[in-house]
Amino acid sequence: MNDTPGPPPGSSSADEPEDRGDGRRGEPGRPAPQDGPPQQPVWGAKWAERQPPAGRWTAPGGGTAPPPAVGGAPPGWGGGWAPAATAPRPGTIPLRPLGVGEILDGAVATVRAHWRTVLGIALAVAVVTQTLATLATGLWLRDVSGLEDLDDDTPTAEQTLDAIGGTLGNGATVLIGVLATVAATALLTVVTGRAVLGRGIGAGEAWRAARPQLPRLCGLVLLLPLIVFGALLAGFAPGVLLALAGAEEAGAALALLGGFAGLGAGIWLWIRYSLAAPALMLEKAGVTTALRRSAKLVRGAWWRVFGIQLLVLVIVLVVEAVVEIPTSMVAMAFGGDSATDWLSGEDTSVSWTFLVVIGLGGVLSTTLTLPLTAGVTALLYIDQRIRREALDLELARAAGVPADGVPKPPHGPGPGPDRTG
């Protein structure tokens, strides 16, 4: 019986007559005549009688090994079983497509592994923003009686200037807070990118890496709300125009429906471009390129990205409530004021003690939530690139680990056979 492998598929020798070795050739497409009794195939009944007993078997190199999995073969002989392939994890996440829990765990692991850098950045931003907010509130909005004077039919010039000054001061505070948050997001994105590779980074190094992209990131952060607001405005516009034309009831109904449609479009656009910030920072891209990259990565996974971002928002709101509700109670106890009465207008002024304690609560909540939101967004961007672009292979190469997760054998030849006997 001939045990040599046959010709590969498509070979022309498959149609030639078979040489039987005695000068005779068989006809093409028909088996040659047999001399003597037919041979039993190796898979006949005799083969079944030579089977080893069921259960565990002994490998030639010694030791007992379990039977291979269905459809597989023993990984090797004599050297034991090879370890199963696992995703490498040089840093805070395994280099493979991530689940929701792994994304959240990766953001928390980044804080634990680099807590000095992460909490230092978040604390600095929180102190700056909350200090400015407290000062603006204490100087311009602590006494709201000036704003109530605008309810008069003919407010004086001094009352109008006070109201305008308070509005401008509050707007400047909000703008500075947005810029500080942008800087923190940029720095924390860089830290998260290094943490994925298992590399540490200080605040100074993160600042030097993120500083060239900060102007572009500011432009992106200012552009995204304009895009969302434009979609919302486009939904309201037809109803408002119809109401101005004289059909007030129909215009109001159309404006309501258009408002819901514009709100849905705004949320869709916000999620579509939610990964633009990490794309801009980690790829050193421009604003328009980052927007296109985010749209490409989110395409086909909009609901997944929306669900994760919504879950993070709920977690942030819960953390803020857990921190700020007790802080407000302490502020009312020491300051003697009520935030509800102040916001409703029943109490036209509050004390500085009340504002300072409220500001301390804001510092604590911002320090805890800012690394979470920035880390989840960066890891969600990395996860989408792993799913679509096999980024895990590049990350494994950059981290210096095998991409299949199987440890490599030691260098050099192994021990030779025992020849003492």
pLDDT of residue 244: 87
Instruction: Give the burial class of 320: count Cβ atoms within 10 A of its Cβ; 0-12 exposed, 13-18 middle, 19 or more buried.
Output: middle
pLDDT above 80 (res 381):
yes
Q: Is 106 in contact with 98 (CB distance < 8 Å)?
A: yes
**Average pLDDT score over residue span 149-170:** 53
Instruction: Give the burial class of 67: count Cβ atoms within 10 A of its Cβ; 0-12 exposed, 13-18 middle, 19 or more buried.
Output: exposed
Q: Which range is least confidently modeled, 42-56, 140-154, 342-356, 373-387?
A: 42-56
Label residue 248 by pLDDT band (50, 70, 90).
Answer: confident
pLDDT of residue 341: 53
pLDDT of residue 47: 39
pLDDT of residue 196: 93
Residue type present at position 221? V
Q: Which residues contact 76 (CB under 8 A, 6 or more apart)?
A: 82
Q: Which range is least confidently modeled, 145-159, 178-192, 343-357?
A: 145-159
Candidates 245, 271, 243; CA nearest to 256 is 243
In degrees and rounded to multiples of 5, residue 50 shows phi and psi of -95, 10
Label residue 302 by pLDDT band (50, 70, 90).
Answer: very high
Candidates 135, 160, 134; CA nearest to 147 is 160
Q: Where are the alpha helices (DSSP H) in 337-351?
A: 339-344
Q: Alpha-carbon dihedral of residues 334, 337, 338, 339, nearest 10 degrees?
A: -90
Tens of pLDDT along 168-207?
555 666 666 677 778 888 899 999 999 999 988 888 899 9
pLDDT of residue 153: 52
12 or 302: whose pLDDT is higher? 302
Place of tokens 């927007």: 291
Label residue 289 by pLDDT band (50, 70, 90).
Answer: very high
In degrees and rounded to multiples of 5, residue 58 shows phi and psi of -100, 125
In sequence order, the β-bridge partners of residue 65 are: 57
Query: Rounded to an integer, what distance in angstroms lies between the CA atom of residue 248 and that of residue 354?
Result: 46
Share the mean pLDDT of the chain.
75
pLDDT of residue 26: 47
pLDDT of residue 346: 53
pLDDT above 80 (res 294):
yes
Label residue 97 by pLDDT band (50, 70, 90).
Answer: very high
pLDDT of residue 134: 82
Q: Is 191 in contact with 182 (CB distance < 8 Å)?
A: no
165 or 387: whose pLDDT is higher? 387
In sequence order, the β-bridge partners of residue 25 are: 19
Place of tokens 């215009």: 251
Most confident of 14-18, 182-186, 271-275, 326-330: 271-275
Query: Rounded to an integer, what distance in angstroms lies between the CA atom of residue 254 and that of residue 262?
Result: 12
**Average pLDDT score over residue span 87-109:** 92
pLDDT of residue 384: 96
Candidates 312, 313, 329, 323; CA nearest to 366 is 323
Label residue 3 by pLDDT band (50, 70, 90).
Answer: very low
Q: Which residues contact 415 (CB under 8 A, 6 or more apart)?
A: none
Q: Which residues contact 393 (CB under 8 A, 6 or more apart)?
A: 403
Residue type present at position 238? P
pLDDT of residue 99: 94
In degrees and rounded to multiples of 5, residue 174 shows phi and psi of -65, -40
Query: Rounded to an integer, what distance in angstroms lies between the CA atom of residue 307 and that of residue 304?
Result: 5
Q: What pTM was estimated for this model as a whole?
A: 0.69
Tens of pLDDT along 355-379?
888 889 889 999 999 999 999 999 9
Label residue 286 by pLDDT band (50, 70, 90).
Answer: very high
**Average pLDDT score over residue span 112-139:** 87
**Average pLDDT score over residue span 196-221:** 90
Two tokens at 415?
């021990």
Query: Rounded to an integer, what distance in angstroms lies between the CA atom of residue 107 and that of residue 315?
Result: 13
Q: Is 329 in contact with 308 (CB distance < 8 Å)?
A: no
Tens of pLDDT along 9-39?
444 444 444 444 444 444 444 445 555 555 5
352 or 383: whose pLDDT is higher? 383
**Average pLDDT score over residue span 406-418:** 45
Determine the 3-state secondary structure of 143 from DSSP: strand
Query: Rounded to an integer, what distance in angstroms lies between the CA atom of residue 142 and that of residue 162?
Result: 12
Determine the 3-state secondary structure of 58 from DSSP: strand
pLDDT of residue 399: 85
Question: Which phi-psi region, left, alpha or beta, contains residue 398 (left: φ > 0; alpha: ψ -120 to 50)?
Answer: alpha
Tens of pLDDT along 47-94?
345 544 544 444 444 444 445 444 444 444 444 454 555 888 998 999
